[in-house]
């Protein structure tokens, strides 16, 4: 059975949490597509050319434990603006989306470019302040000196680049259900997303 859930939205809005929960609830595969760009960025930071880095990605690259930093995120959003990099990563994502048994993909262009025919499309948002506070709580475990203001500036710079690029900019597909998680608990957000899936199963 082919059944694809496409989840897009800005950084730290809750996409990953919702995607993982839906995958567990419905037994679907999950692909965090941001990891592809982060892993490519990591190789670029080590001196590799961007297209070669994207083409050389192996599953071990996606499991590296140094992909989540703000620095890697910034380089990822620069690398992600390059059409040749996006093209190189396209087939892997499209094939994952068609896997038997269902798939959840989260990213920036899933509902618009990767899976325009997804059965369920969600665009997950939250206010800048809420997103910065959430990401700060996560990153400050490793970097106690990090401030919320720094995290906010980092998220805004990345969102501006992701929404403003020419190729596959972050945007809500016309059919996407908008889910603002600012005032929701994690469980409430997951329940609303789950209801959208159940309605289409």
Query: From the annotation, which residues make up the binding site for ATP?
Result: 9-17
Give the full edge-to-edge strand order of the sheet including 29-32.
29-32, 103-107, 4-8, 120-125, 177-180
Q: Toward ligand C5P, which CB reaches closer, 16 or 194?
A: 16
Could you give the 3-state DSSP secondary structure of residue 124?
strand
Closest distance of CB 109 from ligand C5P, Å: 5
The CB-of-92 to ligand C5P minimum distance in angstroms stands at 12
φ/ψ (deg, to 5) at 43: -65, -40
Which stretches of the chain bind ligand C5P, using CB under 6 A? 11, 33-34, 37-38, 73, 76-77, 80, 107-110, 158, 162
Minimum CB–partner distance for residue 190 and ligand C5P (Å): 18
Query: Closest CB to ligand C5P among 138 and 195?
Result: 138
Nearer to ligand C5P, 34 or 102 (CB): 34
**Annotated binding residues:** 9-17
Task: Using the minimum distance from each CB to ligand C5P, give the nearer residue, 77 or 173.
Answer: 77
Q: Residue 11 and residue 17: Cα distance in Å, rounded? A: 12
In this complex, which beta carbon is closest to ligand C5P, that of residue 14 or of residue 107?
107
Question: Minimum CB separation from ligand C5P for residue 198, in Å?
Answer: 25
DSSP H helix total and E strand total for the chain: 9, 5
State the Rg of the chain over Cα: 16
Q: How far is the CB of 70 from ligand C5P (least distance, A)?
A: 10
106 within 8 A of 8, measured Cβ to Cβ:
yes
Q: Which helix (H) or strand (E) holds 107?
A: strand 103-107
Contacts of 194 (CB under 8 A, 6+ apart): 21, 22, 25
């Amino acid at each position: 059975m082919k059944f694809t859930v496409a989840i897009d939205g800005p950084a730290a809005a809750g996409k990953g949490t919702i995607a993982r929960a839906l995958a567990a609830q419905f037994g679907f595969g999950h692909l965090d597509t941001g990891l592809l760009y982060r892993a490519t960025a990591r190789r670029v930071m080590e001196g590799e050319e961007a297209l070669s880095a994207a083409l050389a990605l192996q599953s071990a690259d996606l499991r590296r434990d140094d992909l989540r930093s703000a620095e890697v995120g910034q380089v990822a959003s620069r690398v992600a603006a390059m059409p040749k990099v996006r093209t190189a990563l396209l087939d892997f994502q499209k094939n994952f989306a068609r896997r038997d048994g269902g798939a959840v993909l989260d990213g920036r262009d899933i509902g618009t470019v990767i899976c325009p025919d997804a059965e369920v499309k969600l665009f997950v948002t939250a206010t800048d302040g809420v997103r910065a506070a959430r990401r700060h709580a996560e990153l400050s475990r490793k970097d106690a000196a990090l401030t919320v203001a720094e995290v906010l500036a980092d998220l805004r710079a990345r969102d501006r680049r992701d929404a403003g690029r020419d190729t596959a900019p972050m945007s809500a597909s016309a059919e996407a259900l908008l889910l603002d998680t600012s005032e929701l608990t994690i469980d409430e957000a997951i329940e609303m997303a789950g209801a959208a899936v159940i309605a289409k199963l």
